[in-house]
Structure 1
Amino acid sequence: MRQGTKQPYEAFLVLDVEGTCVEGNTSFSYPNEIIEWPVCLLRWADKDKDGKAKVLQVVAEFRSFVKPTWRPLLSQFCTNLTGITQDQVDRAPVFTELCESFKVFLEDNGLIDPGTGQRLVKYCWCSDGPYDVRDFVVKQCFISKVPMPAWITGDVLDVRSEVRALLDAETSRKPQERKRSASAYAFPVNPRMVLTIPRQLQALGLSPFEGRHHSGIDDTRNIARILIELARRGVRLMPNTSINPKRRWPWMGKRGKILDGYH
């Protein structure tokens, strides 16, 4: 196994939101509203003076349901998929209030300055695929008529892409090298196969998915397990997905208005 890799980031925030959805329209072009905001905060346990490390650990968690405002009633399809009930979102803060409470979480954990909001350490957002920040957060900020908070702007580490890169590197090696490799995969994955979170766990030889799939907090915890394994295998954890806070979709009108016909 490789020794510690030089790691430029001090902390990682794993995010896997859940959003409103209707049966038959689960694409990321839909005007989803965020209904669950779960985050795992990870830090290095062994970073040396040269910045080398390989042991990541979860040090804090944040979870809140979020009340939708454009379409406040959840579809039965959405509840069945996510496990989130109407009562839970009815009693939850709206997105702008959620941002304020999460900002306190960042301050309490020494990530941003309470006065200026500036980052005190170099931290990186992480998600399974690019969708959570690139799509859900950008859309939600438009619907809520607020700019993206400074604490979430910047590029994102797509964990799924890193797992795919490891897989591609492993399959390109000679059979005898693969057999000796300490980072060998538990099973071969077809390059065209969608790497869901359970498949990533299996491919990395980790224990099966823990919890309920499509529960935001459970998804987040399992993504954190994958990130910890990537660090253990010597992957240099860096952002790999660009985020455009000004991205627009066809349903977007002026000043946060959702055009008619999008239900």
Structure 2
Amino acid sequence: MKTTNTILIVDLEATCWENDRIPPGQKVDIIEIGICELNVTTKAISKKQSIYVIPERSKINKFCTDLTGITPQLIKEKGIHFEEACEKIRDEYDSTSLTWAGFGNFDKEQIMEQCDYLGIENPFSENYLNVMNQFKNYHGLHKMMGLKRALKFFNMDFEGNHHSGADDAYNAARILRKILE
């Protein structure tokens, strides 16, 4: 694996239900992959984008749309299949050779689960960095906290819309950048 000064920050949005009650016959599906790059040398955050994904094992309901802003119509217009999304990430970010990060383990576990289920190769490397754990250790905290509270700890405001994958990834990158200073 080549060494580089770039870390990919990823945040997923997925199909969800009120009280986490998954209807029979449906599974949690990724519907947005928010991604950006953090250059650890220059501290620049770049290449922020949302990749919308067509859910193959579930439907987007009103609760999910209210939380994420992602509608079935948006997915119909801009969505691509998960396998295409993985190829796009590999092609545009050279993702298999970079460390990647997310705020918590949900993103890593969901990518791995969906890749396994669909028989698709994970577009990311084995090197995963849990920004939530980095934050907790940096501040010597015993409890985890969410993205918005972590930003407040650094006296930073959330930029963009919470539960937008691209905006959440960007804000997680801001936290990681602060920890690396």
Aligned partner of 2:57 among 60, 70, 79: 70
Q: Which residue does the alignment assign to 1:243?
A: none
Q: Which residue does the alignment assign to 1:4?
A: none
User: C-alpha separation between the residues in 1 aligned to 2:60 and 2:176?
Assistant: 32
Q: Which residue does the alignment assign to 2:6?
A: 11
Q: Which residue does the alignment assign to 2:159?
A: 210
How big is the shift at 1:147?
A: 3.1
For residue 128 of structure 2, what is the amino acid of its counterpart?
V
User: C-alpha separation between the residues in 1 aligned to 2:34 and 2:153?
Assistant: 25
Cα offsets for 1:169-197 (capped at 9, x unmatched): xxxxxxxxxxxxxxxxxxxx7x44x4111
Relative distance call for 1:26 and 1:164 in structure 2 (3 A) is: farther
The structure with the greater share of residues assigned to helix is 2
Q: Which residue does the alignment assign to 1:199?
A: 149
Gap runs ≥5 in structure 1: 1-7, 46-54, 113-117, 169-188, 233-263
How big is the shift at 1:103?
A: 2.1
Contact 2:10 2:34 in 1 (8 A): yes
Q: Cα RMSD over matched residues?
A: 2.2
For residue 127 of structure 1, what is the amino acid of its counterpart?
G
Q: Point out 4+ residue stretches in structure 1 off by more than 3 angstroms.
A: none
Aligned partner of 2:172 among 195, 200, 223: 223
Q: Which residue does the alignment assign to 2:136?
A: 164
Cα offsets for 1:48-106 (capped at 9, x unmatched): xxxxxxx41113223211001112x2111111111111111123111011122222212
Contact 1:31 1:139 in 2 (8 A): no
Contact 2:15 2:28 in 1 (8 A): yes
Q: Which residue does the alignment assign to 1:153?
A: 125
Contact 2:40 2:180 in 1 (8 A): no
For residue 19 of structure 2, what is the amino acid of its counterpart?
G
1:125 has 2:100 as partner: yes
Contact 1:13 1:125 in 2 (8 A): yes
Identity of aligned residues (%): 28
Secondary structure class of the residue paired with 1:102: helix
Equivalent residues in 2 for 1:229-240 (5 A)? 229-232=178-181
Gap runs ≥5 in structure 2: none
Secondary structure class of the residue paired with 1:89: helix
Structure number with greater Rg is 1
Q: Which residue does the alignment assign to 1:86?
A: 72
1:144 has 2:118 as partner: yes
User: C-alpha separation between the residues in 1 aligned to 2:121 and 2:129?
Assistant: 21
For residue 132 of structure 1, what is the amino acid of its counterpart?
D
Secondary structure class of the residue paired with 2:34: strand
Q: TM-score, normalised by structure 2?
A: 0.87
Contact 1:126 1:156 in 2 (8 A): yes
Q: Which residue does the alignment assign to 2:46?
A: 59
Secondary structure class of the residue paired with 2:44: strand
Secondary structure class of the residue paired with 1:227: helix
User: C-alpha separation between the residues in 1 aligned to 2:125 and 2:138?
Assistant: 27
Q: Which residue does the alignment assign to 1:105?
A: 92
